Amino acid sequence: MKKILFLSSAILFTMLLTSTRWAAISDATHRWAGGTLSYLKMAQLYAREPDQKLVMPVHTIRVEQVRDSWHAPRDGERLHEGQDIFAKRGTPVYSATEGYVVRVGETNLGGQTVSVLGAGGRVYYYAHLDSYAPDVAVGEYVTTETVLGYVGTTGNAKNTPPHLHFGVYTPAGAVNPLPLLTNRS
């Protein structure tokens, strides 16, 4: 019975995606189909091996210019779980890997942030953005050529020079992004 239900759902879903009348399908059905497809693609990405190398997310900055700030002490006896990459305000911030945007929003510490789910279930966290790229949205597929936002000082970075806080979170916890970074061509 489960196989029949699964197969009939798959056939219906395929018909919806390949229909020449796609535009006539209701908005709710369109959103459901797109959401289901995104979840399937995210599951496939999650099952892949995590990237061993990441492309520098801040345009014009080279890895050699980044001062290692991993586990530097922070307020409240916490440790810094990422790298601060300093650049001029408004410098484009690109995705460091391919994946799907899973969060766009504001937090007290990070200010304007974007989170991207990548291979192996890693989440890439981009914080202190001055602004978001115009088309960044949850569910969007991104590559290393996708602009997510622009360097800024939002959140708890309001009294610091403009920078991107870049974090990498695995299912087991945060890892230092600096050894993974490679220069953008």
Q: Tell me, what CATH number does 133's domain have? A: 2.70.70.10
Please tell me whether residues 18 and 100 are part of one structural domain: no
Residues 103 and 36 both lie in one domain = no
139: left (phi over 0), alpha (psi -120 to 50) or beta: left
Q: Give yes or no: residues 36 and 109 share one domain.
A: no
- In the chain, the amino acid numbered 177 is P
Q: Both 58 and 40 in a single domain? A: no
Are 28 and 75 part of one and the same domain? no
- Supply angle C-alpha 107, 83, 50, rounded to 5: 90
The residue from 31, 47, 63 where one domain ends is 47
What is the β-pairing status of strands 123-132 and 147-151?
A: antiparallel
Same domain, 85 and 176: yes
Q: Which tokens go with 26? A: 């209701």
Give residue 18's domain range.
2-47
Same domain, 35 and 64: no
User: What's the whole-number average pLDDT of the chain?
Assistant: 81
Q: How far apart are CA 127 and CA 54, in angstroms?
A: 17
Beta bridge partners of 126: 114, 166
Which two three-digit tokens encode residue 174? 């945060």
| Model pLDDT, residue 141 | 93
Tell me, yes or no, whether 78 and 144 share the same domain. Answer: yes
The number of domains in the chain is 2
Q: Pick from 184, 163, 133: which is nearest to 69 by CA?
A: 163
97-114 pLDDT tens trace: 999 999 999 999 899 999
**pLDDT of the residue at 154:** 95
As a whole number of angstroms, the distance between CA 14 and CA 39 comes to: 15
Residues 90 and 168 in one domain: yes
Nearest C-alpha neighbor of 150 from the set 88, 98, 101: 88
Separation of alpha carbons 150 and 164, rounded Å: 8
Say yes or no to pLDDT of 131 above 90: yes
Which single residue is written with the structure tokens 């890439």?
A: 124
Do 10 and 100 fall into the same domain? no
Q: From CA 59, how far away is CA 151, in angstroms rounded?
A: 10
Range from 19-28, 43-52, 64-73, 94-103 that averages highest in pLDDT: 94-103
9 — pLDDT class (breaks 50, 70, 90): very low
Q: Which of 10, 25, 47 is the last residue of a domain?
A: 47
